[in-house]
Structure 1
Amino acid sequence: MSTVTDKIKILCADKKISAAELAEGSSLSLEQVNRICESDEIPSLSSLIKISRALGVRLGTFLDDSEQIGPVLNRSEEHHQSVTFTSHQTNSNSHMDFISLASSKAGRNMEPFLINIQTENGNETCSTHEGEEFLFVLEGSIKVRYGAETYILNKGDSIYYDSIVDHLVTSIDDNGAKILAVVYSPS
């Protein structure tokens, strides 16, 4: 079982919130919540943001390893474990590996990630959640579907958007892409 799933279950138990109440509070279906709670995989970022709001905790609560009050420093030579968020509706976003750059920072309001994006081969399901996102392309090229618009971003390009609008980020070639993403989710 993933530590994210364990943390969701512990928080629900501590707050005496049933799966049905979590589903209602997060605007997810009861079936989705049950799949999330019974899975070894980490839920989609969108679902996790909705669950964090329903439980009244920061998104980072699910990703924290330890809590540091001061700054968190990441050295380029250090190897960081990546996390692959999944969708419990489809396999969307399984083409993205997230490396948290601040998992040990206490009280943070932003979630900075390095994301390795593989070529999407299948269902392209858009995501939507409260907050904002900033993406900066480090390697390769990406396609960002944002509402009815599509944007192509190359190395050095960036985009900042409200994540309440349907959006999807994919690599546009077989080599994949690497981006820096900063996600803000209001608490």
Structure 2
Amino acid sequence: MSSSQLLGTRIRTYRERLGLSVEDLAKNAGLDAALVSNVEDGAVYPSISVLVKLSRALGQRVGTFMDDQFVDGPVIVRAGERKDDGTPHRGAGPANYRYYPLGQGKTDRHMEPFYIDIEPNGEESLSSHEGEEFIIVVSGEVEVQVGKEASRLKAGDSIYYNSIVPHLVKAAGAERAAIYAVVYTPF
């Protein structure tokens, strides 16, 4: 089962446990019902902001839908191993992002760490969700827009912001970029 299908099945299971229809969940999350249906069917892997909205509407933390197994002790993800966990978006967020979750298995976590590859020339729509984000640029250059303020960051630079403010992170210029991002969503 692909990670998109696994995530979709988990969301459907929690929705059904609560006795909600797809339309109910979509309304509670402030999303389109077709998008929720596509996520549940595994046709779409949602962006972080969509996943946060779904998890909040279901009364769960984001990691509930991303974890494959429990790890007793610290979670270590080797650079060469994280590539197997990457999941591209397909229609529910920037198609030019590839997320690699770094906290899977730590079931009591309060933040979601990711390694993210960003291809240039992707969608440019702002997103927002409750919480905070911390980003460190690993390679390339990124442009981060938070509200009306845009900043260009290079490898080694970081930014920390409230993610309720509409924001956009994209590769700056024509080169691919990579970042580490930590997303905190209050529960």
Same fold (TM over 0.5): yes
SS of the aligned residue for 1:2 comes to helix
1:163 is the counterpart of 2:163: yes
1:112 CA displacement: 0.5
1:86 CA displacement: 4.5
Distance 2:130 2:30 in 1: 12
Distance 1:63 1:32 in 2: 18
Distance 1:85 1:184 in 2: 21
1:126 CA displacement: 0.8
Which of residues 73, 81, 84 is equivalent to 1:78?
A: 81
SS of the aligned residue for 2:11 comes to helix
Counterpart amino acid of 1:140? Answer: G
TM-score, normalized by length of structure 1? 0.90
Distance 1:79 1:170 in 2: 21
SS of the aligned residue for 1:180 comes to strand
1:174 CA displacement: 2.2
**Structure 1 residue aligned with 2:13:** 10
Which of residues 9, 25, 47 is equivalent to 1:22?
A: 25
Cα deviations across residues 146-187 of structure 1 (Å, max 9, x unaligned)?
A: 111111001110000000111111001222111110000111
8 A Cα contact 1:143 1:151, kept in partner: yes
1:82-93 to structure 2, matched below 5 A, reads 82-88=86-92, 92-93=93-94
SS of the aligned residue for 1:32 comes to helix
Residue-pair matches, total: 183
Cα deviations across residues 72-105 of structure 1 (Å, max 9, x unaligned)?
A: 11223434320223444xxx41111111111111
Structure 1 residue runs of 5 or longer lacking an equivalent are none
Root-mean-square deviation (CA, aligned residues, Å) is 1.7
Q: Of Structure 1 and Structure 2, which has the larger fraction of its residues in helix?
A: 2
8 A Cα contact 1:136 1:157, kept in partner: yes
Cα deviations across residues 19-58 of structure 1 (Å, max 9, x unaligned)?
A: 1221222122334323433452211211110110111111
Structure 2 residue runs of 5 or longer lacking an equivalent are none
Distance 2:113 2:82 in 1: 16
Identity within the alignment, % = 38
TM-score, normalized by length of structure 2? 0.90
Distance 1:183 1:148 in 2: 21
| 1:87–1:164 distance in 2 versus 1, CA, 3 Å | farther
8 A Cα contact 1:44 1:86, kept in partner: no
